[in-house]
Amino acid sequence: MLEGVLTKPILRRLPSTVTEVRLRRRRPLSYLTARGRTISEYIISDTEFENVLSLVTEHSLYAITDKLVNGYIPLRGGLRVGVAGEGVMDGERVKTIKHITSLSLRIPHQIFGIADFLHIDGYFDQNILIVSPPGAGKTTLLREIARCLSECGKCVTVLDERGEISGACGKEFALDVGANTDVLFGFPKKLSYENALRALSPEYIVTDELSGERDVEGVMRAYYGGVRVVATLHGGTLDVFHGDFIPLKAVFDRLILLSRIPRVGTVKEDVVR
């Protein structure tokens, strides 16, 4: 998946189990595995950084301006490249990013069987919220739940704005989300909920990273429309139902807290309400 994106000297220094790679100009290469973060002695030169930047932007920063303003670049196979640099503003709107200094490559992994503890079958009927800090495996678990629900005969719609869940790229999916699953890729979340409920008749909506009032509104519409929801949320505890998220307390009847300790994907708490 990383071939064609990273240079050979970088690739040679990465283990096969890598889940994240961070490149910073004139700084050491660092990467993440289930065992934790490693900071290598290999320094990323300006030339090598520019080479990688050219590859991930398909040799044209201008052509992907609309993606850059979101702070990341989606690539084939569900790979997502986070971008740090100087924001160029147009009033209160980010116009583009220049002077890029850091790239964070998130590599999706399909791990079959990690949702077995939920005992998903044809009678499964729960709204699930997965809570975790960044990089603790919530999207990997979400993907496997979607696949299991689908393979058990549930009609699943995945709202995959950034293509991370399904690995969507054009007409292909690099990752298995189940044979009975429809994927809405690239749509803004609000429009995705509307399209799913109006046109796809899902039994389950699966969505990543609830982030505010609009997401909450979409979840509530699905819930009151009789559709089950499986979603994720950034957090370090299950005390998440405050502020914009207060209405969700009535929705989710199973809460799962993931941790990076002792390894990524550890189920720290599993609460059925």
Residue where a domain terminates, one of 106, 127, 153: 106
Together in a domain, 75 and 128: no
CATH of the domain at 86: 3.30.450
pLDDT confidence of residue 61: 67
Clarify whether residues 28 and 101 are in a common domain: yes
- Domain range enclosing 97: 8-106
**One domain for residues 97 and 174:** no
Last residue of a domain, one of 106, 135, 160: 106
pLDDT in the model for residue 206: 97
Q: How far apart are CA 131 and CA 145, in angstroms?
A: 14
For residue 2, tell me if it sits in a domain: no
The pTM score is: 0.86
Q: 205 and 264 in one domain?
A: yes
For residue 1, is it within any domain? no
Long-range contacts of 21-26 (CB under 8 A, 24+ apart): 21/104, 21/105, 21/107, 22/102, 22/103, 22/104, 22/105, 23/49, 23/52, 23/102, 23/103, 23/104, 23/105, 24/49, 24/101, 24/102, 24/103, 25/49, 25/101, 25/102
pLDDT tens over the chain, length 273 residues = 688 889 899 999 999 889 899 999 999 999 998 788 999 999 999 999 999 988 888 777 665 666 666 677 878 777 888 888 888 777 777 777 788 899 999 888 899 999 999 999 999 999 999 999 988 899 999 999 999 999 999 999 999 988 889 988 778 888 999 999 999 987 888 889 999 999 999 999 999 999 888 899 999 999 999 999 999 999 999 999 999 999 999 999 999 999 988 888 999 999 998
101 and 14 both lie in a single domain? yes
User: Does a structural domain hold residue 3?
Assistant: no
The CATH number of residue 242's host domain is 3.40.50.300
Pair (243, 132) in one structural domain: yes
- pLDDT at residue number 225: 94
The verdict on residue 145 lying in a domain is yes
Indicate if 57 and 177 belong to the same structural domain: no
Same domain for 60 and 149? no
Q: How many domains does the chain have?
A: 2
Task: Indicate if 79 and 133 belong to the same structural domain.
Answer: no
